[in-house]
Amino acid sequence: QVQLVESGGGVVQPGRSLRLSCAASGFTFSSYGMHWVRQAPGKGLEWVAVISYDGSNKYYADSVKGRFTISRDNSKNTLYLQMNSLRAEDTAVYYCAKDKAPGELGFAFDIWGQGTMVTVSS
């Protein structure tokens, strides 16, 4: 079945780096735009970044621009989020999510992973 599984979360000190992964299965990963969305404890959803199906287009929320990098390896059906210069306010559950339709960006998110927790604390 269609599935997204995140990994790589954990506890990290402020200023350090962490890389999240999202393993996809059950669909043609290389045809779909992919997103990262985060949710701080007890808070709402915040969109973080998107990458187009072929990796040629990437967009970021202002809150992470210049610190986070989204990438993908279509040969491995895996999405990544490289997070540098982490701050306490980056503490959240990070979800990967799939565009509902293939091709160019501009769709709702129909499949979500279970999320991976990132805690930034000294």
Partner 1 sequence: DIVMTQSPDSLAVSLGERATINCKSSQSVLYSSNNKNYLAWYQQKPGQPPKLLIYWASTRESGVPDRFSGSGSGTDFTLTISSLQAEDVAVYYCQQYYSTPSFGPGTKVDIK
Shortest distance in whole angstroms from residue 81 CB to partner 1: 16
Q: Which two tokens stand for residue 108?
A: 């709702």
74 within 8 A of 30, measured Cβ to Cβ: yes
| Residues that bind partner 1 in the complex, under the rule CB under 8 A | 35, 37, 44-47, 50, 59, 61-62, 95, 100, 106-110, 112-115
Nearer Cβ to partner 1 (27/112): 112
Shortest distance in whole angstroms from residue 113 CB to partner 1: 7
Q: Which two tokens stand for residue 80?
A: 């990544």
Nearer Cβ to partner 1 (17/57): 57
32 within 8 A of 99, measured Cβ to Cβ: yes
Nearer Cβ to partner 1 (103/106): 106
CA dihedral (18, 93, 120, 44) positive or negative: positive
Shortest distance in whole angstroms from residue 6 CB to partner 1: 10
Distance CA 13, CA 94 (A): 17
Nearer Cβ to partner 1 (39/71): 39
Q: Give the number of other CB atoms < 10 A from CB of residue 43.
A: 10
Shortest distance in whole angstroms from residue 74 CB to partner 1: 22
